[in-house]
A = this chain, B = another copy of it.
Amino acid sequence: MTVTIKDIARKAGVSYATVSRALNNRPEVSEKTRREIQRLAAEMGYKPNAIARGLVTRETLTLGLVIPDITNPFFPEVARGVEEAASEAGYSVFLCNTNWDVDKERTYIELLEEKRVDGLILASVTEDEGYLAELLSRKTPVVLINRILDQVDTNYVAIDNVKGAQQAVEHLISLGHRRIAYVGGLEHVESTTERLHGYRLALAINNIPFEEELVRYGSFKKESGYENALSLLSLPEPPTAIFAANDILALGVIQAIKERGLKVPENVAVVGFDDIPFAAYAEVNLTTVAQPKYTMGEMAAKILIDEIRKGPSPEKKHIVLPPTLVIRASSGGRREGPKNSKH
C-alpha cells in the first residue's frame, strides 16, 4: 500500500539501489535518471521511511528533551530554543514532561534511549548522581541544563545561580532590608540549593546573621510560594523582604502578601528568579534575576548536535551564562518602572 523505493524502481525500470541514490541526491547518478526518479517519486506519493533508514544508518535525527514542568513559562522558552536550533539542523525533538517526578524522569530517559534518540538534553531533578553518572557513561551524548555534577565531567549549559541570587539579595540589602527570607522550591534541586548559597553569601558579606526560620522549601509551584509566604508573615518578627527561588513562587508570595492586606513593596519587598514573560507585566512588575532561557536551550541543542556529529570528545563543554538582575517595582528599587517594562 505505502509506496517504497522498490515500487519506484519497478516503475522506473532500474534497481532500487539507484532509486535510493537518486532520492538522496548522491553524485553517482546521471542527471537524467535522477530527475525521472524524483518525478516518479513525487507522482507516486513516495515518503521515505525514517524508521527503516534509521535502522541502517544508526541515526534517527531525533533528540530527547526532558523537562520537569512545561507549565512553568521558563521551560517553554528553553524548549523553543532547543527546538528551533534542532529543527534548523534537521533534528526533531521528543518533549518529555516529568512533572518533577524522578521516576518518570528515569522512565523517560530509558524510553528515549530505546527509541534511539541521537542525543539527550536533560533538565534533571533527580538527586541520584550515581544514576546520572552511569547515564553519562553510555554512548548517547547528553547535555544537562542548569545542573552541574561533582563527580563526573559532562556537557552543561547553566546559569550562575549563586551570583544571580547574591545580586538579588544584595539589591534588597542595599534598599535597607536586613530581615530577608528565602522561599525555595524542592529542597534538593540545584536551583533551590545554589540560590540558597547566593542568598547566604550576600547575607554573610553584609554581616547579616543567617536565620534558619527565614528559609522555606516546598515545590516550585505557586501554591508553595503562597503558603510559605503566609507562614513567614506569621512569624513574631516577619521578614521585610522575600527572595523566591523562581518567579512562579514569587507570584505566590505576592499573592499571600496582598491577601494579608500588606503592600508590595512598601511592606514587603519581593524578588524572583527567571524573568518569565509575566514578570514584566505592569500589573506584576516583578524584580527578578533574568536567565537567557531561549539561548540556554539553543546552546544546549547546538552543543549536543555538535557532539553527535563529531563524536564524543574528551573535553566536555561547560557553559555558564551570566544572570541579570532586572529591577522592577516589586522590590522597591526604582531603576525600572512600569512605563519602561518591555511588552
Contact = CB atoms under 8 A, between A and B. Distances in A.
Interface of A: 1-2, 47-52, 54-55, 60, 62, 70-71, 73, 76-77, 79-80, 83, 92-97, 110-116, 139, 222-223, 226, 251-252, 254-255, 258-259, 277-278, 281-284, 338-339, 343
- Chain copies in the assembly? 2
Most buried by B among A1, A70, A94: A70
Listed from nearest, the 3 A-B pairs whose CB atoms lie closest are: A95-B95, A283-B283, A70-B76
Contact of A258 (B71, B77, B83, B282): B282
Given A50-B114, A62-B115, 16 more contacts: A1-B139, A49-B116, A50-B115, A51-B55, A70-B70, A70-B76, A70-B79, A71-B73, A71-B277, A80-B97, A92-B94, A94-B94, A254-B282, A255-B281, A258-B282, A278-B281
A95 B116 CA distance: 17
A217 to B, nearest CB: 18
14 contacts: A2-B139, A47-B113, A49-B114, A50-B114, A51-B51, A51-B55, A70-B79, A70-B80, A71-B277, A73-B73, A76-B76, A92-B111, A255-B282, A278-B281
Nearest to A95: B95
A339 B92 contact: no
B60 A83 contact: no
Contacts of A96: 83, 92
Contacts of A112: 92
Most buried by B among A47, A50, A96: A50
Contacts of A114: 47-50
A76 B77 CA distance: 11
A116 B60 CA distance: 12
Nearest to A73: B73
A338 B343 CA distance: 24
A276 B5 CA distance: 47
